[in-house]
Chains A and B, each alone.
Chain A
C-alpha cells in the first residue's frame, strides 16, 4: 500500500512537470512577417535576453493603448534589460492591410508579425486580445496576462526587470 502511494505520487509529480504552464518553449506555428514572407514562431529569439509577446489587432483599442503605453518607455527598457517586444497581429483580411500603417504611424519599433490564420493564437491558447506573455532568457514562457487596464504596463516592466536579472516570477 505504501509503495502504491509512493508510486502514485511519483506519477503525479512527473505529470505535474508535464502540465505546468511555466517554463515551456514557444510552440511552433506559421506566421507572416510584415514584408509578406512566411516564417515560424520557433525562430523568435533574443540572445538569452527576455522577450514580450503581445497579441493585438488593429481594431482592438485596449491592445493599442497597451502597446502605446509600453512604447513610451520601450527605448529605455531595451537599454536597461535588452528586452525585445514581439507584437502578433491577429487581424484578418478585413484589416490586415492596416497593420503596417498602424505600426508606422505610431512609430512602434517592435518586431511585428501577422497571424492571419490564427495558428499561433491557437497554439498559445489565447482566448481574447490583448494577451501578453513573458519569455525568459532560456526561451521559456513564464508569465501571461489577459486584457489591459490603465497602468498594467508597470507590472510588466517590473517583471521584465526581474527576468533580466535572472529572478523567478510569481503571478
Chain B
C-alpha cells in the first residue's frame, strides 16, 4: 500500500468518524481523558528574626499531574510528580521526578480488577488503609493487584497483594490482605428488605512479609493482624465498633517490643433536624503496623489509627494539634450540635447554631515485664486496661454561629486546650525544652456581604498560653538564655472578595507576650487568589511560623520560613 493510499484511507476514516457519528457517540466510542494538575512553589529568603534559614536551595516546589482514561468499565491512569527539591516542611526523601502511580482497572458486573497502583481501606482502616493526602504529601499507595468480588447484592469480598510506595520506590515488605463485608438487610432482601434497621458486619485479615536481617534479635518475618467490625443504623441513629488484634511485631516505632497489639474503636451518633450528638472512643495498644519495620515518620504505614479530635480551621486553635500516638493511647471525643430555630428568643430572625465539642486522650498504664535485649522477649510490657496514664491532650470548645441580617453573619468560638508537647510532638520526656502547653483561645469571625457576590471577612483571634519559663545562666557570649513555652498571641485577618473571581487577604500574628523579648515578633502575610471554574491561582508573601501541621492523624513539622509562594491548580 502506497503512502498516498494509506493517508487517503486514514483521512476517510477520521473524517467519517467525525462527521457520521454524533459528537456524543464519538466520545462514547473513544472514551474520555481527564486529569488535574497542581503546582506549589516557593522562593524562600533568609529571615534571621524568625529563625528562617532556607539554606542554598531557595527555590522549591511540589508538583503533580494526574491523567486518567475511562471507557465504560475500563480505566487507566498515571500520575507524574516532581520535587526539585520539595517545599520546606516535607520529607526530604521526596526529591526528583517520576511516575510513582499508574494503574489499569476493569469493572464488569460482579468483578473489579486493578493491576498496578491502588488505594484501599478495610473497615475503619485499623488493619489496612492505603491512601493519599497530597497536601501533607502522604502517599502509601499499594503497587500490586486487587480484586473486588460482589457475588451477590450485600456481599463484597476484597483481596489484594502489593508493596507500598516509599518516595519514588517501594518499601521492602509485601502486604497481603483480604476483607469481607456483609450487609444483612441487602443479603436477605426478601425477608429483611423493608426493615428500618440496617446491620452491616465485616472482617479483615492482613499480613506482611519482611526478611529478618537483624544481627541480634530473632524477628518474626510474617506478621498478621485481624479485625472484626459491626455497624447498626436506624433512622438518625448510628453505632459502629471494630476490634483488632496484631501479632507481635517488633519495629523501630515500638523499640523492637515483642508485645502483641490490640485496638478497640467505637463510635455512636444520633441526629435529627436541628440536633445531633456524637461520641467516639478508642483504645489503641501497640498497633503501629508498617511494611518496613525500620521505617520512621509517615513511611510504609499499612494501617491507620484514627484521630477523632476536632479538626480546627482557625490558625491559633490548630496551632498545637493532637496526633494519634502510634504506640498506644486511650480516650474519646464527644460533640453536640443544636440549632436554635428562627423566631425563637436566641434564634432571632435567622436562627443560631451552637456546637459543643470535647476531647481527652491519655497514655496507657503499662508495666515492663521482660528484660531489654532479650532476643525473643525484648521490651515486653503488660497493659493495665483498668486505669489510665498521663494526659496527652484535651480540647474543650464551643462555637456559636449567628446570622444577624441578610448581610451580616458572625462566628464566636472559645477553646481550652492542653498538649503534652514533649511526648506528643517530640517523643522525648524533656519538659524543660518542650513544656506542656495549656491555653485559652478565642475567635471572632465576622462576614459582611456588602453586595451580591462581594464580601469582607474579618477574623480576630487571641491565644492566651499559661506562662512557664526558665532563665539559664549567662553564657560565654554574655547572652541571657531563656527557654519558655510560647506565651500569648494575637492574630488578625482581613479577607476581601470583591467578586467571585478574586480574593485578597492580609493577616498578621503577633507573639505579644513572651518572656524572651527577641521572640515578640510579627508574622505578617498577604495573599491574592484568583478562581475561574476549575482553575485556582494564588500568590502569597510573608512569614510562616514554625509548627506542626496535621490532618487525619498524620502530621508534618514545618520549619519557620519566609518568602514568596505561588500555587496553581486546575482540572480538565
Q: Are A151 and B569 in contact (CB under 8 A)?
A: no
Q: Are B125 and A100 in contact (CB under 8 A)?
A: no
Q: Are A117 and B120 in contact (CB under 8 A)?
A: yes
Question: Does any Cβ of A come within 8 Å of B131's Cβ?
Answer: yes
Bound together, the chains give a CA A166 to CA B231 distance in angstroms of 44
Closest to A156 in B: B500
> Chain B, 265-294, contact with A by CB distance < 8 Å: what is the 0/1 string?
001011111111110100000000000000
Q: Are A97 and B278 in contact (CB under 8 A)?
A: yes
Residues of B within 8 A of A147 (CB): 529, 531, 536
Q: Are A7 and B11 in contact (CB under 8 A)?
A: yes
Q: Are A154 and B453 in contact (CB under 8 A)?
A: yes
Size bracket, chain A contacts:
35 or more
Closest Cβ–Cβ distance, residue B100 to chain A (whole Å): 15
Question: Does any Cβ of A come within 8 Å of B66's Cβ?
Answer: yes
Residues of B within 8 A of A10 (CB): 11, 14-15, 18
Main secondary structure of the interface of A (DSSP, over half): mixed
Question: Does any Cβ of B come within 8 Å of A3's Cβ?
Answer: yes
Residues of A within 8 A of B500 (CB): 149, 151-152, 154-155
Closest Cβ–Cβ distance, residue B306 to chain A (whole Å): 5
Closest Cβ–Cβ distance, residue B405 to chain A (whole Å): 14
Bound together, the chains give a CA A146 to CA B77 distance in angstroms of 22
A59-B536 in contact given A21-B34, A28-B70, A104-B273 (Cβ < 8 Å): no
Q: Are B280 and A154 in contact (CB under 8 A)?
A: no
> Which stretch in B20-28, B384-392, B421-429, B465-473 binds the other chain?
B20-28
Residues of A within 8 A of B27 (CB): 17-18, 20, 23-24
Bound together, the chains give a CA A10 to CA B19 distance in angstroms of 10
Q: Are B30 and A105 in contact (CB under 8 A)?
A: no
Question: Does any Cβ of B come within 8 Å of A125's Cβ?
Answer: yes
Q: Are B533 and A151 in contact (CB under 8 A)?
A: no
Question: Does any Cβ of B come within 8 Å of A122's Cβ?
Answer: yes
Q: Which residues of B from 99 to 139 have beta carbons under 8 Å from A?
A: 107, 112, 119-121, 124-125, 129, 131-132, 134-135
Question: Does any Cβ of A come within 8 Å of B516's Cβ?
Answer: no
A61-B313 in contact given A118-B119, A149-B503, A151-B500 (Cβ < 8 Å): yes
Q: Are A143 and B533 in contact (CB under 8 A)?
A: yes
Closest Cβ–Cβ distance, residue A112 to chain B (whole Å): 12
Bound together, the chains give a CA A23 to CA B236 distance in angstroms of 37
Closest to A127 in B: B569
Closest to B501 in A: A149
Q: Are B571 and A123 in contact (CB under 8 A)?
A: no
Q: Are A94 and B313 in contact (CB under 8 A)?
A: no
Q: Which residues of B from 25 to 45 have beta carbons under 8 Å from A?
A: 26-28, 30-36, 38
Q: Are B454 and A151 in contact (CB under 8 A)?
A: yes
Bound together, the chains give a CA A102 to CA B14 distance in angstroms of 52
Residues of A within 8 A of B404 (CB): none
Bound together, the chains give a CA A107 to CA B351 distance in angstroms of 13
Bound together, the chains give a CA A64 to CA B231 distance in angstroms of 26
> Which stretch in A31-39, A45-53, A74-82 binds the other chain?
A31-39
A105-B271 in contact given A131-B534, A149-B531 (Cβ < 8 Å): yes
Closest Cβ–Cβ distance, residue A161 to chain B (whole Å): 16
Residues of A within 8 A of B77 (CB): 122
Question: Does any Cβ of A come within 8 Å of B532's Cβ?
Answer: yes
Main secondary structure of the interface of B (DSSP, over half): strand
Q: Are B571 and A37 in contact (CB under 8 A)?
A: no
Contact of B535 among A61, A103, A140, A146 (CB under 8 A): A146
Residues of B within 8 A of A150 (CB): 447, 449, 453-455, 457, 497
Which has the most chain B C-beta neighbours within 10 Å: A17, A101, A122?
A101
Q: Are A127 and B36 in contact (CB under 8 A)?
A: yes
Q: Are B278 and A93 in contact (CB under 8 A)?
A: no
Q: Are A138 and B273 in contact (CB under 8 A)?
A: no
> Chain A, 77-111, contact with B by CB distance < 8 Å: what is the 0/1 string?
00000000000000011110110111111110000
Contact of A94 among B24, B112, B132, B311 (CB under 8 A): B311
Closest Cβ–Cβ distance, residue A95 to chain B (whole Å): 7
Closest to A59 in B: B311
Contact of B33 among A19, A59, A116 (CB under 8 A): A19
Closest Cβ–Cβ distance, residue B228 to chain A (whole Å): 16
Closest Cβ–Cβ distance, residue A63 to chain B (whole Å): 11
Bound together, the chains give a CA A85 to CA B349 distance in angstroms of 27
Residues of B within 8 A of A144 (CB): 533-534, 571
Bound together, the chains give a CA A14 to CA B16 distance in angstroms of 10
Residues of A within 8 A of B531 (CB): 145-147, 149
Q: Are B70 and A123 in contact (CB under 8 A)?
A: yes
Contact of B34 among A14, A24, A93 (CB under 8 A): A24
Question: Does any Cβ of A come within 8 Å of B460's Cβ?
Answer: no
Question: Does any Cβ of A come within 8 Å of B366's Cβ?
Answer: no
> Chain A, 5-20, contact with B by CB distance < 8 Å: what is the 0/1 string?
0110011011001111
Q: Which residues of B from 167 to 188 have beta carbons under 8 Å from A?
A: 183, 186
Interface residues of B (CB under 8 A from A): 4, 7-8, 10-11, 14-15, 17-18, 23-24, 26-28, 30-36, 38, 66, 68, 70, 73, 75, 77, 107, 112, 119-121, 124-125, 129, 131-132, 134-135, 148, 150, 154, 156, 183, 186, 198, 200, 231, 233, 236, 238, 240, 267, 269-278, 280, 304, 306-308, 311, 313, 335, 337-339, 447, 449, 452-455, 457, 497, 500, 503, 529, 531-536, 552-553, 569, 571-572
A-B residue pairs, 4 tightest by C-beta: A104-B271, A151-B453, A150-B455, A101-B276
Q: List 13 A-B contacts (CB under 8 A).
A: A7-B7, A7-B14, A37-B154, A92-B131, A97-B240, A101-B270, A104-B273, A105-B275, A107-B273, A123-B75, A126-B36, A151-B449, A171-B532
Interface residues of A (CB under 8 A from B): 3-4, 6-7, 10-11, 13-14, 17-21, 23-25, 27-28, 30, 35-38, 59, 61, 92-95, 97-98, 100-107, 116-119, 122-128, 131, 138, 140, 143-147, 149-152, 154-155, 171
Apart from A98-B335, A106-B339: 11 A-B pairs, beta carbons within 8 A:
A3-B11, A14-B14, A17-B23, A18-B33, A24-B32, A119-B119, A126-B36, A146-B571, A147-B529, A150-B455, A150-B497
